[in-house]
Structure 1
């Protein structure tokens, strides 16, 4: 059995060179098809990741009344004495108790002004201390993106809340687009993989048909079906393996270029592409496996008509 394995493996490799043009055509078809599948899959997976990141970055900004002291543990009485603030975290606790709320962080108006001055330039440096027009706020994160709208409406009803912002229609549109990307991307990927299987299998079938005479001769001299099938099975696997080299290289260098040029800017927005060290081994491994499986199965299925008694 082991002897037959190495014999079939050696013969399959020799047959690649004996049938040079047909082998070249099959390998070329595998390479082109897997390149398209790899590029499409890599792009789709990262688009879906960015869409999910945008969804997860949607937050509810809760702006408090200008007179609110919800985050102050102490306050001053009419006589100017420092006393405990009886309404400390009254709004905070009500928001925290809402269904769907995951976390909330206090952001003072001074912190917001400092951030605006840093990002917007000198125009906002006119405002400081008592002239600060901003309000204290709570930044609310929900457990699921779909909870944002529900939580925002509930917070708006809490006494002491001046206004609530979560992106409104824009946020709803983002979540709808993300959902469509997942659905149609999955459908498109499935269709493209089926097309790849069809194209590669038919190309390999053509190489088998061109050697039907060799198969008939082996049958006439009494060779078993398993013996006839062996070299063609491994030859199909070789075609798939060699054909996956170019797509793997394209994905490797192409993704490195995209990652190095675009991921830094995405990080500033709290988004990112899939990490190279994890993503590339997975997608390249998938491309190689798909090539080998489709190549070997395509060869076996193509031989069925020649091995029927």
Structure 2
């Protein structure tokens, strides 16, 4: 397409938006309301996913080394564990560190355990992380069969429930977002269709004077694009302001906590880009689907 023709289509699309101001307002409002809902839900789901990922990454396997194992036995056990394809890292934690961690975790009640510093009854430990948190159970069962692995702990029973809950939450969230997007596309398509129905005479006249389907379609294509972009501006502003306030309020309270929310920058800019892309896509899709009937394509 020539640049002159494209400029003509763009100019006509802007003129059409002005001539049909009430229909334009209705279409932009439909896009705005829908994208606010989509944006808010998307922000919530992404932060819940962040929390879920943090919890998953915190899952580890603690391999208690048999007290009878010497340094060579421990090194051999470590190498055997590292050879498992699903293993990401193996860190050594001596029994002295384990005792200090126990004392610190118990607070004042842990003072009594300082008596064991001279005769430490705990085991040396290998802390194992898997590449995928869901492989924890599988790897733990393999390590249990190895020599000098006295005990293998990973929160058996609770970890399985945790992963099942996280998986279900993600699937439900994804289904809700997809359902909301389809609902948005349906509502916006119908709103834009009303706009195009009101201009069917204009389309019929253009067809009678010999205009091609492509020539007729382009201004509506651009109108849908502008409607989608205009409809995404307010949701981006509202969500950015609301998330900035929520981030400033929650971040100090969560400082030092293993649960963290996504940082304002660059997350909110990513959300803005997604909303603009969604608005443009929905506007274009609604226009093209609505005009097909009148073009008899």
Is the shorter-chain TM-score for this pair beyond 0.5, marking a shared fold?
yes
1:225-304 to 2 correspondences below 5 Å: 225-262=213-250, 268=256, 270=258, 272-304=260-292
* Distance (Å, rounded) in 2 between the aligned partners of 1:46 and 1:287: 17
Question: Which position in structure 2 is the counterpart of 1:24?
Answer: 25
Unaligned ranges ≥5, structure 2: none
For this pair of structures, how many residues does the alignment match?
A: 294
TM-score (norm 2): 0.82
Mapped contact 2:61–2:153 kept (Cα < 8 A): yes
Question: Which position in structure 2 is the counterpart of 1:92?
Answer: 78
The Cα offsets for residues 163-184 of structure 1, whole Å up to 9 and x where unpaired, read as 3210111111122223333444
Moved over 6 A (4+): 264-267
Mapped contact 1:100–1:142 kept (Cα < 8 A): yes
Question: Which position in structure 2 is the counterpart of 1:80?
Answer: none
Mapped contact 2:73–2:148 kept (Cα < 8 A): no
TM-score (norm 1): 0.79
Question: Which position in structure 1 is the counterpart of 2:44?
Answer: 43
Name whichever structure is richer in helix by fraction. Answer: 2
Judging changes above 3 Å, is the alpha-carbon distance between structure 1 residues 297 and 141 closer, same or farther for their aligned structure 2 residues?
Answer: closer
Mapped contact 1:30–1:291 kept (Cα < 8 A): yes
The Cα offsets for residues 87-132 of structure 1, whole Å up to 9 and x where unpaired, read as 5535434444455333221223332343344454222123222376
* Distance (Å, rounded) in 2 between the aligned partners of 1:140 and 1:150: 12
* Distance (Å, rounded) in 1 between the aligned partners of 2:74 and 2:290: 77
Computed over aligned residues only, the root mean square deviation of the Cα atoms, in angstroms, reads 3.2
Deviation of residue 222 (structure 1)?
A: 5.6
Mapped contact 1:64–1:162 kept (Cα < 8 A): yes
The Cα offsets for residues 7-50 of structure 1, whole Å up to 9 and x where unpaired, read as 33233223323322221111010011112222223333333343
Mapped contact 1:12–1:232 kept (Cα < 8 A): yes
* Distance (Å, rounded) in 1 between the aligned partners of 2:162 and 2:56: 7
Structure 1 stretch displaced more, 136-145 or 258-267: 258-267
Larger radius of gyration: 1
Unaligned ranges ≥5, structure 1: 72-85
Deviation of residue 203 (structure 1)?
A: 0.7
Mapped contact 1:104–1:139 kept (Cα < 8 A): yes
Mapped contact 1:31–1:243 kept (Cα < 8 A): yes
Mapped contact 2:103–2:113 kept (Cα < 8 A): no
Equivalent of 1:200 in 188, 205, 211? 188
Do structure 1's residue 62 and structure 2's residue 48 form an aligned pair?
no
* Distance (Å, rounded) in 2 between the aligned partners of 1:158 and 1:70: 15
Structure 1 stretch displaced more, 116-125 or 140-149: 116-125
Deviation of residue 151 (structure 1)?
A: 2.8
The Cα offsets for residues 172-202 of structure 1, whole Å up to 9 and x where unpaired, read as 1122223333444333333222222111111
